[in-house]
Amino acid sequence: MSEQYFSKQPQSKSNPKTWTFKLRENKYTFTSDHGVFSKNEVDFGSRLLIDTFLEPKIDGDVLDLGCGYGPIGISLAKTFPNRQVVMSDVNERAIELARRNASQNNVTNVEFYISDRLEALKERSFAAVLTNPPIRAGKELIFRMFEESYHALLPEGEIWVVIQKKQGSASAQKKLNEIFETVEIVDKSKGYHILRAGKK
């Protein structure tokens, strides 16, 4: 089986690639690599999530769960400079890249954790969690991410999820409905759904 981007320590040989990309009216320089999700550009699902996300109505930090090389968390930290954005991933190479990308884009209101789901963040609470979940890791892991996110959210906090219809949007929505008080499809585009679930 080929190595997955949710491996803790990718064994594929490093071969970084750097490019520029515009997100929410700001231009960024990103570096990605083998062993990390979407090496060559910001993937469409992440772009849709970035464009759709609305700042929480409550005070508090924002979590980019499974941040990869960092486009979601970095762009939202730039967009909402008064928010602290926490970026976490199980993939150590991804976190190294996310740190590098934040630095080379002069984004400072961010912090980084190597974490399997929310294991390293048990003492933290958030106004919002965003995730482009690792579909290939399987539903069981993704559903645990949803459950742990609920407990990590402040009252009136929200989780935002991007997922393709053909890769389980319906089952993800059903699971969110079991956990959260409110669930809605905020946007649909090119087979991707943006789901927002709220905690009371």
Q: Among residues 178, 173, 122, which one has the least CA distance to residue 151?
A: 122
Q: For residue 152, which phi and psi values (nearest 5 degrees)?
A: -85, -15
Superfamily of domain 43-198 in CATH is Vaccinia Virus protein VP39 (3.40.50.150)
Distance (Å, rounded) from C-alpha 46 to C-alpha 59? 24
Q: For residue 19, which phi and psi values (nearest 5 degrees)?
A: -150, 170
91-146 pLDDT, tens digit per residue, is: 999 999 999 999 999 999 999 999 999 999 999 999 999 999 998 889 999 999 99
62-81 pLDDT, tens digit per residue, is: 999 999 999 999 999 999 99
Categorize the per-residue pLDDT at 2 as very low, low, confident or very high, splitting at 50, 70 and 90: very low
CA angle 28, 93, 166 (to 5 degrees): 75
Tokens 């190597």 locate to: 114
Categorize the per-residue pLDDT at 6 as very low, low, confident or very high, splitting at 50, 70 and 90: low
**Per-chain mean pLDDT for the chain:** 94
Q: Decide if pLDDT at 49 tops 60.
A: yes
